[in-house]
Amino acid sequence: MKTPAIVSEFREGLAQGKLLIQHCQDCDKPNMWPRYACPHCQSENLGWLQSKGEGVLHSFCVLRQGAPAGYEEDLPYAIGVVKLDEGVQLLVRLEANRPDDWSDYLCDDRVSFVAVDAAEAERRPCAQFRRSPG
Ligand SMILES: [Zn+2]
């Protein structure tokens, strides 16, 4: 399946170990997920900036059964909503703290972006995060 142009730079960033967020070059505000026009000023003059990759875990869920079609082989896995320090939020995968175990995670934990290799970024084009140390 061809990658939609609106997410291609985000996905290319993941494959290079970078978390990119869309950025309006007219009003200087971040947008996530990417849009065709800035939700703040309606400008179509949008680009990408590299996020610092730090944020807060708002919510998460560990899937142990009932994965969507095509994701069965990933079970178990965890997804979460992270609010980045830049002020935007996104859906992420959470790295297990021990094999198949996410019990160390709590909502409002500080979390950090984890670069994955290009093959994994291609297979699952979703940012991966882990609990920040400390
Ligand atoms: Zn704008």
19-65 pLDDT, tens digit each: 999 999 999 999 998 999 999 999 999 999 999 999 999 999 999 99
Distance 51 CA to ligand 1 centre (A): 17
Domain that holds residue 114: 5-131
pLDDT reported for residue 133: 84
DSSP 57-70: EEEEEEESS-PPTT
| CATH code of the domain in which 37 resides | 2.40.50.840
Neighbours of 99 (CB within 10 A): 6
Distance 87 CA to ligand 1 centre (A): 14
Kindly tell me if the per-residue pLDDT of 2 is higher than 90.
no
Put simply, whether the predicted model's pTM sits higher than 0.85 gets the answer yes
Distance 81 CA to ligand 1 centre (A): 23
The domain total for the chain is: 1
Distance 4 CA to ligand 1 centre (A): 22
* Tokens read off for 63: 């899937």
Q: Which of 101, 134, 4 is nearest to 112 (CA)?
A: 134
